[in-house]
Amino acid sequence: MTTIDLRRLKVLLVDDEAFIRTTIRQILVLVGMPQGNVYEAADVKAALAETLRIRPDLVLCDIHMPDGDGFVYVGNLRKAPIPGVAATPVVMLTSDSGEEAVLTAKELKVSGYLVKPVSIATVKKAMERALKATLP
């Protein structure tokens, strides 16, 4: 595995709850990411726009949101006309541990599936698996 320079990594957090976004942002900073490299979106529409704007290296995405779910986001992402964007690694970050959600995530070829609450270590490990790299 290669090592990734966290100063260059861009991560998009997609969750309708500001508290969760703040918490995950703090976890990312604790693993070594600069705050300026962590972007946020509170809904599917904003997430798609932000993805096209910043072209993140990784997306951490909730499933259940009021305006549509994370699976809609991932489905649209996978259909993006820009190959690099369509292949963006996505880790689902959700409280839904149900079999149907997990199977849907697999069908959409997500790179990871974390059930909230999460620890610093589990977020870091999921990022490493999704990026196929080692984080310092």
pLDDT tens profile 28-53: 999 999 999 999 999 999 999 999 99
The whole-angstrom separation of Cα 100 and Cα 35 is 34
- 98: confidence class by pLDDT, cuts 50, 70, 90: very high
pLDDT in tens, 50-70: 999 999 999 999 999 988 899
pTM: predicted TM-score of the whole model, two decimal places: 0.95
In the predicted model, is pLDDT for residue 136 greater than 80?
Answer: no
Distance of CA 27 to the CA centre of its chain: 13
Q: Distance between CA atoms of 39 and 56, rounded to whole angstroms? A: 9
Best CA proximity match to 99, nearest among 107, 90, 91? 107
* Burial readout 42-65 (b: 16 or more C-beta within 10 A, e: otherwise): bbbeebbebbeeeebbbbbbbbeb
Q: Domains (ranges, CATH) in the chain?
A: 2-134 (3.40.50.2300)
> pLDDT-based confidence at 22, cuts 50/70/90?
very high
What pLDDT score was predicted for residue 1? 61
For residue 108, give Cα distances in angstroms to 25, 32, 78: 25, 29, 8
The CA distance from 129 to 136, in Å, is 14
